Structure 1
Amino acid sequence: MASRLRNRYLFTTRQKLLAALVALVLVGVPLGWGIKKWTTPEDRSCAPGVERPQGSDECVGVNGSGFAFGVPELAEITGLIGHENGVLKQGGYVTVAILLPFTSTDPGMRAKVLHELQGSYARQYWENNKANGRTPKIRLVLANTGNENVHWEHVVQQLKGMTGAPDRLRAVSGVATSSPEIRSSVAALTKAKIAVVGTTITADDIANGPDHNDFPGLARVSPTNKDEARALPLGKVDAGRTLIVQDTRTDDHYTNTLKAAFATALKGRTPYEPAVFTSPPDSTAEGTTSNIFNKIASRVCETQSETVLFAGRHTQLRQFINELGGRGCAARSSVTVLTGDEGSYLGSDPKLDRKALTARLTVRYAALAHPDAWRAATNPKLPKTGGSEADYDTFLEAVSHASKKPVPLGDGQAIIAYDAMATAVHAIREAAQGKPYPEPSDVGQQWPQVTGELQRVNGASGWICLDNYGNPFNKAVPIVSLTPEGTQRFESIAWPEGKAPTPNCLKPNPK
Structure 2
Amino acid sequence: MPNPLRYRVFYTTRQKIVTSTLVLALLAWGAVHAIDRLTTPEDRSCAPGVARPVGGDECVGVSGDGYAFEVPALKDVAKAIAEENGRLKAGEYATVALLLPLTSTSPSMRTKILHEVQGAFAQQYEANNRSNNQVPKIRLVLANTGNGNAHWRPAVDALKAMTGAPHHLRAVSGIATSSTPVRHAVTELTRSGIAVVGTTITADDLTNGPGRKPFPGLARVSPTNSDEADALSHFGRVNAAKAILVHDARDGDHYTDTLKGAFSKLLAKSPYQPQLFTSPKDPTLEGPTANTFRQIAHLLCTTRADTVFFAGRHTQLRQFINALGARGCTHRPFTVLTGDEGSYLGADPQLDRNALGKGLTVRYAALAHPDAWRAAPGRTLPKAGGSTAAYERFRSMMDAVRAEEVGPVELSDGQAIIAYDAMATAVHAIRQATVGGRLPALEDVGLQWPQVTGDLRVRGASGWICLDNHGNPYNKAVPVVELTRDKPRFVQIAWPEGKPPTGECMPPRTP
Q: TM-score, normalised by structure 2?
A: 0.96
Counterpart of 1:407 in structure 2 is 409
1:422 to 406, 420, 424: 424
Query: Conserved in 1, the CA contact under 8 Å of 2:124 and 2:140?
Result: yes
State the Cα deviation string for residues 472-494 of structure 1 (Å, max 9, x = none): 00111101000012x01001111
**Distance in 2 of aligned mates of 1:247 and 1:8:** 86
- Tell me the CA shift for residue 497 of structure 1: 1.1
Relative to 1, partners in 2 of residues 1:306 and 1:80: Cα closer, same or farther, differing over 3 Å? same
Structure 1 pair 144/378, CA: closer, same or farther in 2 (3 Å)? Answer: farther
Distance in 2 (CA, whole Å) between partners of 1:82 and 1:23 is 54
Identity %: 61
Report how far residue 20 of structure 1 moved.
3.9
Give distance in 2, aligned partners of 1:425 and 1:305: 47
Map of 2:181 onto structure 1: 181
Deviations 1:41-80 (Å, cap 9, x if unpaired)?
A: 1000001111111110010111111111111111111111
**Shift in Å, 1:385:** 1.3
Q: Relative to 1, partners in 2 of residues 1:379 and 1:466: Cα closer, same or farther, differing over 3 Å? A: farther
Structure 2: which amino acid aligns with 1:421? Answer: M
Match of 1:244 in 2: 245
Change (3 A) 1:30 1:66: same
Contact residue 294 and residue 323 of structure 2 kept, 8 A:
yes
Give the CA RMSD over aligned residues.
1.7
For residues 17 and 391 of structure 1, what CA distance do their matches in structure 2 show?
87
In structure 1, what is the Cα distance between the partners aligned to 2:138 and 2:67?
18
Superposed displacement of residue 4, structure 1: 6.8
Match of 1:144 in 2: 144
Query: Bigger CA drift: 367-376 or 381-390?
Result: 381-390
Alignment partner of 1:232: what SS? helix
* Residue pairs, 1:178-327, within 5 angstroms: 178-233=178-233, 236-266=237-267, 268-327=268-327
Contact 2:240 2:266 in 1 (8 A): no
1:460-499 equivalent positions in 2, closer than 5 A? 460-485=461-486, 487-499=487-499
Cα distance in 1, alignment partners of residues 411 and 241 from structure 2: 37
Tell me which residue corresponds to 1:156.
Answer: 156
Cα distance in 1 between the residues matched to 2:412 and 2:398: 14
Shift, 1:21, TM fit: 4.7
Match of 1:106 in 2: 106
CA distance in structure 1 between the aligned counterparts of 2:168 and 2:25, rounded to whole angstroms: 53
The question of whether the paired residues in 1 share the 8 Å contact of 2:210 and 2:510 is answered with no
For the 8 Å contact 1:400–1:406, the answer to whether it is kept is no
Q: Distance in 2 between matches of 1:411 and 1:25?
A: 66
> CA–CA distance in 1 between the matches of 2:343 and 2:295?
25
> 1:378–1:284: structure 2 CA closer, same or farther, 3 Å change rule?
farther
- Does the CA contact (< 8 Å) of 1:474 and 1:497 recur in 2? yes
Give the superposition deviation at 1:435: 3.4
Aligned partners of 1:401 and 1:148: how far apart in 2? Answer: 32
In structure 2, relative to structure 1, the CA distance for the partners of 1:378 and 1:198 (3 Å cut) is farther
Letter of the structure 2 residue corresponding to residue 468 of structure 1? N
Q: How many residues are aligned here?
A: 507
Taking the aligned partners of 1:124 and 1:320, their CA distance within structure 2 comes to 39
| Structure 1 residue 330, shift from structure 2 partner | 1.1
- Cα contact 2:394–2:461 (8 A) shared by 1: yes
Could you say which residue in structure 1 is the equivalent of 2:438? 436
Please, which moves more after superposition, 295-304 or 339-348? 295-304
Residue in structure 1 matched with residue 350 of structure 2 by the alignment: 351
Residue identity opposite 2:469 in structure 1: N
- Whether contact under 8 Å (1:372, 1:379) holds in the other structure is no
Q: CA deviation at 1:232?
A: 0.8
Does the CA contact (< 8 Å) of 2:301 and 2:328 recur in 1?
yes
Give secondary structure in 2 for the equivalent of 1:67: coil
Q: Secondary structure at the match of 2:472?
A: coil
Gaps of 5+ in 1: none
1:83 to partner: Cα distance:
1.3
| Offset, 1:280 | 0.8
CA distance in 1, matches of 2:233, 2:329: 24
Determine helix, strand or coil for the equivalent of 2:433. helix
TM (norm. structure 1) is 0.96
CA contact (8 A) 2:233 2:266 kept: no
Q: 2:40 matched to which residue of 1? A: 40
Counterpart Cα distance in 1 of 2:502 and 2:311:
32
Q: Distance in 2 between matches of 1:323 and 1:219?
A: 38
1:110-149, aligned counterparts within 5 Å?
Answer: 110-149=110-149
Alignment partner, residue 458 of structure 1 = 459
